[in-house]
Structure 1
Amino acid sequence: MEEKMIRCENVTFRYENSGNDSDKLALNDVTLDVKKGEFLVILGRNGSGKSTIAKHMNALLIPSEGKVYVGDLETSLEKNVWDIRNKAGMVFQNPDNQIVATIVEEDVAFGPENLGIEPGEIKKRVDDCLKKVNMYDYRRHAPHLLSGGQKQRVAIAGVLAMMPECIIFDESTAMLDPSGRKEVIRTIKDINSKYKITIVLITHYMEEAVKADRIIVMDEGKVIMKGTPKDIFSQVKKMKDIGLDVPQMTELSYELRNSGLDIKKDILTIDEMVDELCRLK
């Protein structure tokens, strides 16, 4: 049986004092699993609940009803919070909010120092983690002089240095330009495939979801779709009906099919599109 990294069981969450709409549920009876070692993407438009569920996975929020487990640890028990945050690290939208030191290597050392790791081991972890995110050459630089993508990679190294089993990325590419986004996604994919760290990526960029093992789509606080990228994105009309896009090549194949061309509907990448068009010759 596949091991579960995170389990959300019938999770309902209400934000306190959310104005006059007192019944507004941010999460409405959400049940989902994150498998150990997988790269899971959670998609949804603004207000769908995707960031709220991410914060439950790291015990930043506690369910109003239902349970969340990280490994065997239930998030609502105060005594588990420290261990949960060591198991499941989090990288947020704005890297400036996660960078605490004036030198890159000191910033990456901050987490392990707080865990009480001994100095020799910290030095080794800092060097290893900066190499993993291709930022080792910048170890003595000032973080505020780096690009957005580089800062975000330093933030990832800081989480990696605490050796979590899982990292949750809460719209961590939202503030980056396209090249910064590519850098960060490549880094995320690498740490998942090379180091078997479980990844949960919350995003509204469809192209980022193409590389996932599995996608969960949320809307109005509920899970409405689950499946592989090909399963999810081939349902173009359903995605558009809930206000989401699909990758450009999927959109193109959808339009070509509508024009009468006999072409696969689950095309995700340019390479797949080229192959398919060559087949039609």
Structure 2
Amino acid sequence: MKNNMVECRNVTYKYEDTETKTFNLALDNINVNVSKGEFLVILGRNGSGKSTFAKHINALMIPTSGNIIVDGLDTSDDNNVWTIRNKAGMVFQNPDNQLVATIVEEDVAFGPENLGITPDEIRRRVDNSLKKVDMYAYRKHAPHLLSGGQKQRVAIAGILAMEPECIIFDESTAMLDPLGRNEVINTIKSLNANSNMTIILITHYMEEAIAADRIIVMDKGKIIKQGSPREVFREVEIMKNIGLDVPQMTELAYELRKSGIDIRNDILTIDEMVNELCRLK
């Protein structure tokens, strides 16, 4: 469909355990679509298949069976790979592994230069990308002197300079301190809201998922639940049973309800909790 950025059709992925010579199922018949402009969060404990799923969208991995279609292009077709990677950029955990130059603006220019884009157009893209992630003032700085959050924002600018339609963040805040995480999440939200960028965010931090349009919960290679943040997080028992947390305020509401207090079960934020407690007076 034209309004889908990603279509996953019966996607299964098996990998061989070299020690036991057996095949393990990392993705088990996944069917899901991601709309253009959507902010999708994927949650799951380690080994749930979420990062494997992300790498399939960027054509870093190819399904054992089934198909992944990115903006109308099948990832299984070798002729489509580079076009797909331009359409769907990927930002990984460690920003140091993604920075290749000694000056910030040169790092951001690296991708467009490899595409053979004209110098004037590269200049425009670099400036625009750095402004979008609020790093333009650091364009002449050395990347290795930046904070973790700043480095990750430069890495995002490098992807933006390729002018993708979708960015996949594979636990891109995992190695950052709370300030750095906040910087990157605010950048992600801004790209989605102001540039209509399709965002696929894989994270362990439940608070980061609150702003999503939709959450997909994975376990043992399957999608076990999906819906809005309210719909997903109010199922506290289900989340706990698969080893996941819920946002702190949702957890507090859950404990209050267990204590017999009549409070909503879909509270996500501190403001909502305050309003609900005031209502009970």
Q: Secondary structure at the match of 1:24?
A: strand
CA distance in 2, matches of 1:78, 1:14: 20
Q: Secondary structure at the match of 1:230?
A: helix
| 1:3 Cα deviation after fit | 1.0
Q: Is contact 1:4-1:35 (8 Å) kept?
A: yes
| 1:118 Cα deviation after fit | 0.6
Q: Secondary structure at the match of 1:15?
A: strand
| 1:21 Cα deviation after fit | 6.4
| 1:23 Cα deviation after fit | 3.3
Q: Deviations over 1:135-186 (max 9, x none)?
A: 0110000000001000000000000011000000001001001110011000
Show the 5 A alignment for 1:1-281: 3-20=3-20, 22-281=22-281
CA distance in 1, matches of 2:123, 2:24: 47
| 1:133 Cα deviation after fit | 0.4
Q: Secondary structure at the match of 1:59?
A: coil
Write the letter of the residue equivalent to 1:86: N
1:245 to 1:21, Cα distance in 2 relative to 1, 3 A:
farther
| 1:17 Cα deviation after fit | 3.7
| 1:208 Cα deviation after fit | 0.5
More deviation, 237-246/24-33: 24-33
Write the letter of the residue equivalent to 2:189: K
Q: Is contact 2:206-2:245 (8 Å) kept?
A: yes
Q: Is contact 2:15-2:23 (8 Å) kept?
A: no
1:18 to 1:251, Cα distance in 2 relative to 1, 3 A:
farther
CA distance in 1, matches of 2:23, 2:128: 48
| 1:18 Cα deviation after fit | 4.5
Structure 1 unpaired stretches of 5+: none
Q: Secondary structure at the match of 1:192?
A: helix
Q: Is contact 1:6-1:68 (8 Å) kept?
A: yes
| 1:236 Cα deviation after fit | 0.3
Structure 2 unpaired stretches of 5+: none
Write the letter of the residue equivalent to 1:12: T
Write the letter of the residue equivalent to 2:44: G
| 1:116 Cα deviation after fit | 1.1
1:224 to 1:179, Cα distance in 2 relative to 1, 3 A:
same
CA distance in 2, matches of 1:265, 1:54: 31
Q: Is contact 1:18-1:24 (8 Å) kept?
A: no
| 1:2 Cα deviation after fit | 7.5
CA distance in 1, matches of 2:18, 2:166: 31
CA distance in 2, matches of 1:60, 1:110: 20
For the aligned residue pairs, the C-alpha RMSD in angstroms reads 1.0
Write the letter of the residue equivalent to 1:158: G
Write the letter of the residue equivalent to 1:201: L
Q: TM-score, normalised by structure 1?
A: 0.98
CA distance in 2, matches of 1:18, 1:152: 34
CA distance in 2, matches of 1:147, 1:265: 38
| 1:276 Cα deviation after fit | 0.5
CA distance in 2, matches of 1:2, 1:164: 16
